[in-house]
Amino acid sequence: MNYILRNGYFPFTNEITDIYIKEGIVQNIGEGFEKNNPQAKLIDLEGRILMDGFVDSHMHLDKALIGERIINKSGTLNEAIKIMSKYKSQMTKEDIKERAEKVLEMAFQKGTRFIRTHIDVDETIGIKSVEVLLELKEKYKDMINIQIVAFPQEGIVGNRKSYNYLEEALKLGADLVGGIPATEDEPIKHIKMIFELGMKYDVDIDMHIDETDDAKSLTIRDLANITIANGYIGRVTAGHCCSLSANDKNTIRPVIDLVKKAKINIIALPSTNLYLQGRGDEFNIRRGIAPVKLLLDNGIPVMIGSDNIRDPFNSFGNGNLLEELLIAAHGTQMGGEDDLNKLFDTVSIVPGKILGFGFGIKEKDKANFIVLDARTKMDSIIGQVNIFGYFKNNMFEINI
């Protein structure tokens, strides 16, 4: 089936135009296709948003849905880590695959077409989870573009086995190397070891940084300095960065300047961090979200991801990035039109471009875009709209 989709609103160029798809391939973007293609099915989108799809820049597919099997009774980060370490020893490839596929299908239905997922690699699980995700990356390649981050959740300093598994994951085909210095007694050494691997295999680095309420914990400064020292400017991403919100603006302004110099991208995880952070506060309970608005106002690229979906770290999540944006809008107090437009970009064009997903609908590309049942970015978040339609198996399926 060939299609002409008329009056689609392209939100990142702010234009309404038509798109002609032949045998699942974007042939032309513009106008006047009907005359030469009378057999094509004509669908009027009536100004609805037409875009590549959403980008989930930070997810843990190997942990997803474990919360439906084992409960974090305290809801704390410490208990979540303990539960995960125990459950991990029982995980089979079948278990990992079953849970991850459910979330991939869930995310696809909600419009996600690009995912960066952190996958645990250590002496307990080895590279089992990475092997599963590499299989799923291939299986879902026509639906979702998946990037795999080899992630040392249990630490590597003083643990050569886990370090070796991390290297093996990169040899096997993991796209990036991750890090989590907070698990170590020597966080700077952890960062340096991750950089050794990143540079050896010429892959980008994506670290969990400062997922804490402790105002004194600003490991982001060490990450930025090491990034600059190793000439990895523009190739490093920092997720969470909660402790930035525990400090006043005068304290974090020089940190922001350093982050800007290193060209580090920041990923905020509002749902998980609203749920986990501030639990030790008895009054003036902190939100614990990275200061998204302040970072954006200072020219730092910010992205928003779902992080944990129904696992020991977060009981919630539907693989729905519009839902994550609504949570973010509340948690960061970004409710104006300009703010909401910027938030929309944090799950679309910003990570789509910066994380190397090749974001942007182009002629001769495979048609795998979505149409939102909204005519503005702001309305899509406030209205929590459905996906009007999307391509699957070269067919445009109208969803509502």
pLDDT 10s digits, 267-282: 999 999 999 998 888 8
pLDDT value, residue 218: 96
Contacts of 82 by beta carbon, 8 Å cutoff, 6+ apart = none
pLDDT exceeds 90 at position 172: yes
133 vs 71, more confident: 133
Angstrom distance (rounded) from CA 41 to CA 61: 37
pLDDT exceeds 80 at position 224: yes
Angstrom distance (rounded) from CA 277 to CA 353: 30
Proportion of the chain above pLDDT 70, given as a percent: 100
- The end-to-end CA distance of the chain, in Å, is 20
Q: Kindly list the structural domains of the chain, giving each domain's residue range(s) and its CATH number in brackets, ordered by start.
A: 3-52+360-398 (2.30.40.10), 66-354 (3.20.20.140)
Residue 288: is it exposed, middle or buried by C-beta count within 10 angstroms (0-12/13-18/19+)?
buried
pLDDT value, residue 286: 84
pLDDT value, residue 399: 85
Contacts of 154 by beta carbon, 8 Å cutoff, 6+ apart = 85, 120, 122, 123, 124, 162, 183
pLDDT exceeds 90 at position 243: yes
Q: What rounded mean pLDDT belongs to the chain?
A: 95
Please list the residues that pair with 4 across neighbouring strands: 20, 42
> How far is CA 111 from its chain centroid?
13
**What amino acid occupies position 342?**
K
Angstrom distance (rounded) from CA 200 to CA 25: 38
Asked if residue 153 lies in contact with residue 119, where contact means CB atoms within 8 angstroms, the answer is no
pLDDT exceeds 80 at position 20: yes
pLDDT exceeds 80 at position 35: no
Contacts of 142 by beta carbon, 8 Å cutoff, 6+ apart = 366, 368
95 vs 86, more confident: 95
The encoded tokens of residue 244 equal: 């930035």
The encoded tokens of residue 137 equal: 């990356």
